[in-house]
């Protein structure tokens, strides 16, 4: 790892001032599980790390009328084990509980993950399904961006702009009668990145589908929301044939990177298979 | 590490109840800090990317991979390493169980296995086999085939439940 300077501001204002001074030579570090690995492998060079570790007030989980408010410095394990999260949004509990291992979840933070934009991370597809928003603060103030409005831009590229810090996320509650699931296809080891991952939510009311959402991870350069699925299913009685037809539509969203977890063709086929399984579960067809 | 012209910064941590301060370059990882600056070589490093679990230590009450943390990130923290697990001459029930039930062979992964399973038993002294597998899945072992590790953890849990 190359040399760099490490800064530990104690307020957001100090952090913003440092980010402003050093511009593109600076990177924000939260838990560092993603960033340190990249720096150790010389994938990125950083002259100034601005750490959030001494800034108070960014670690919280609150239930409000709008859903859950989760601070950027909240660890992924805190989300995975929070009673408030489980009571309000079990899909978040399930998804954050699938991230890597307990050791990584204890260091990795919610805000760090959202800013990092690893295309194979677990939370992004679920945050797309749940229509979450990201709060990003710069020295000029805070803005709120829906993840669906293009937050996950490209491979390790997100909407966080130079000088901005992700201070938290807001996750609206799922509809009261929704069924949800997060399926991580792991043919190798339990702590691996997924070959493909599917997050899904479904509501069946009066025998017809009234809401259905599917998010996919590890199938493209970012997590993607499969809006085509709703077009096939909403307003109809859920059947195995319709689920099969809806799952086929995710094929067009897939452009996976071939690696030792599978070829692009295989991963695309698996995205269809696991979308079908997730839909079968959330539409009550099991 | 010898030709450093690097700016060094002080890092103060409390490890196994003793406060240490050392001046290190910010790029120093926590595992290197523990091993080379503090001389506590019980903690090992293998994969260096947070995957294998060998470098597991407890920091601020939770287990972390010390190979993908910087020492400067740990500044001000309370840390426990394998050297701090025994109570004086009295071994921790997990240490006894790993010896008595074949929980290790070559021993290189053992400090990490014990630090990880200790954290599990502290919050759940009676884990099921599935709970042990889920918690321990990131602690790799190439010798034992894991069955003996799982058995050792279960036996240590029995001892802890009976109040040592």
Query: A184-198: per-residue pLDDT in tens?
Result: 999 888 888 999 999
A25 φ, ψ to 5°? -80, -10
Give the B window 38-97 contacts with A, CB below 8 Å. 48-51, 53, 56, 62-65, 68-70, 72-73, 75
Min CA distance, A7 vs chain B (Å)?
9
Q: Does A33 contact B29 at a Cβ distance shorter than 8 Å?
A: no
Q: Return all residues near B123 (Cβ < 8 A) that are at least 6 apart.
A: none
What's the mean pLDDT when you consider all of chain A?
Answer: 97
B-chain CB neighbours of A51 within 8 Å are: 72-73
Query: What was the pLDDT predicted at B74?
Result: 98
Measured between alpha carbons, how far is B12 from B22 in angstroms, rounded to an integer?
7
Has residue A116 got a pLDDT over 60? yes
Query: What was the pLDDT predicted at B5?
Result: 64
Percent of chain A with pLDDT over 90: 96
Q: Does B27 touch chain A (CB under 8 A)?
A: yes
B-chain CB neighbours of A32 within 8 Å are: 68-70, 73
Has residue A160 got a pLDDT over 60? yes
Query: What was the pLDDT predicted at B6?
Result: 75
Query: What was the pLDDT predicted at B164?
Result: 57
**Mean pLDDT, residues B123-141 taken together:** 96
Query: What was the pLDDT predicted at A188?
Result: 86
Has residue A65 got a pLDDT over 90? no
Q: Which residue of A has its CA nearest to B9?
A: A6
**8 Å CB contact between A68 and A130:** no
Query: What was the pLDDT predicted at B132?
Result: 98
Q: Which residue of A has its CA nearest to B6?
A: A3
Nearest-10 Cα torsion for B117, B121, B125, B126: -30
A-chain CB neighbours of B53 within 8 Å are: 101, 103
Q: Does B70 contact A36 at a Cβ distance shorter than 8 Å?
A: yes
Q: Is A73 left (phi over 0), alpha (psi -120 to 50) or beta?
A: alpha
B-chain CB neighbours of A77 within 8 Å are: 62
Q: For residue A25, count other CB atoms closer than 10 A to its CB.
A: 13
**A26, A36, A42, A47, best to mutate vs chain B, most B CBs in 10 Å:** A36
Query: What was the pLDDT predicted at A191?
Result: 86
Query: What was the pLDDT predicted at A3?
Result: 94
Query: What was the pLDDT predicted at A24?
Result: 94
CA distances from A254 to A85, A106, A224 (A): 31, 31, 9
Using alpha carbons, select from A82, A100, A175 the residue that is nearest to residue B138.
A100
Q: For residue B70, count other CB atoms closer than 10 A to its CB.
A: 29
Query: What was the pLDDT predicted at B163?
Result: 87
Min CA distance, B78 vs chain A (Å)?
15
A173: DSSP letter? P
Residues B99-119 have pLDDT tens digits of 999 999 999 999 999 999 999
Measured between alpha carbons, how far is A145 from A141 in angstroms, rounded to an integer?
13
Residues B1-52 have pLDDT tens digits of 555 567 899 999 999 999 999 999 999 999 999 999 999 999 999 999 999 9
Q: Is A215 left (phi over 0), alpha (psi -120 to 50) or beta?
A: beta
Q: Does B138 contact A104 at a Cβ distance shorter than 8 Å?
A: yes
Q: Does B125 touch chain A (CB under 8 A)?
A: no
Of A4, A32, A103, the CB nearest to B53: A103
């Amino acid at each position: 790892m190359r040399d760099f300077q490490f800064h530990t501001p104690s307020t957001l204002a100090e952090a913003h001032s440092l980010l402003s001074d050093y511009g593109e030579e600076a990177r924000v570090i939260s838990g560092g599980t993603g960033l340190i690995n990249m720096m150790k492998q010389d994938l990125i060079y950083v002259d100034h790390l601005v750490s959030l570790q001494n800034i108070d007030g960014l670690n919280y989980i609150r239930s409000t009328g709008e859903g859950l408010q989760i601070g950027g410095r909240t660890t992924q394990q805190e989300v995975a084990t929070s009673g408030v999260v489980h009571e309000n949004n079990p899909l978040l509990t399930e998804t954050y509980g699938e991230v890597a291992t307990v050791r990584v979840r204890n260091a990795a933070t919610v805000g760090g993950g959202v800013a990092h934009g690893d295309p194979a991370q677990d939370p992004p597809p679920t945050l797309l399904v749940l229509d979450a928003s990201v709060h990003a603060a710069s020295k000029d103030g805070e803005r709120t961006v829906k993840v669906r409005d293009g937050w996950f831009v490209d491979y390790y590229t997100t909407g966080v702009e130079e000088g901005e810090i992700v201070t938290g996320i807001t996750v609206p509650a799922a509809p009261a009668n929704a069924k949800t699931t997060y399926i991580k296809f792991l043919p190798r080891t339990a702590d691996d990145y997924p070959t493909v991952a599917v997050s899904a939510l479904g509501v069946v009311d009066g025998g017809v589908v009234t809401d259905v959402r599917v998010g996919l991870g590890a199938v493209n350069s970012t997590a993607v929301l499969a809006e085509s699925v709703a077009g096939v299913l909403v307003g109809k009685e859920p059947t195995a044939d319709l689920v099969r037809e809806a799952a086929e539509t995710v094929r067009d969203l897939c452009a996976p990177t071939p690696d030792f977890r599978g070829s692009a063709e295989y991963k695309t086929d698996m995205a269809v298979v696991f979308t079908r399984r997730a839909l079968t579960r959330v539409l009550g067809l099991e | 590490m010898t030709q450093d012209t690097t700016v060094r910064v002080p890092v103060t941590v409390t490890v196994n109840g003793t406060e240490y301060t050392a001046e290190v370059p910010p790029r120093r990882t926590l595992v290197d800090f523990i091993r080379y600056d503090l001389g506590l070589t019980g903690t090992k490093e293998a994969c260096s990317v947070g995957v294998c679990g060998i470098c597991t230590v407890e920091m601020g009450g939770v287990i972390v991979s010390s190979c993908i943390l910087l020492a400067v990130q740990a500044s001000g923290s309370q840390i426990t390493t394998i050297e701090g697990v025994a109570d004086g001459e009295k071994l921790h029930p997990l240490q006894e169980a790993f010896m008595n039930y074949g929980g290790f062979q070559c021993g290189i992964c053992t400090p990490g296995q014990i630090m990880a399973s200790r954290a599990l038993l502290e919050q759940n002294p009676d884990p099921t086999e599935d709970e042990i597998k889920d918690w321990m899945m990131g602690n790799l072992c190439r010798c034992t085939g894991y069955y003996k590790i799982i058995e050792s953890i279960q036996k240590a849990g029995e001892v802890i439940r009976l109040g040592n």
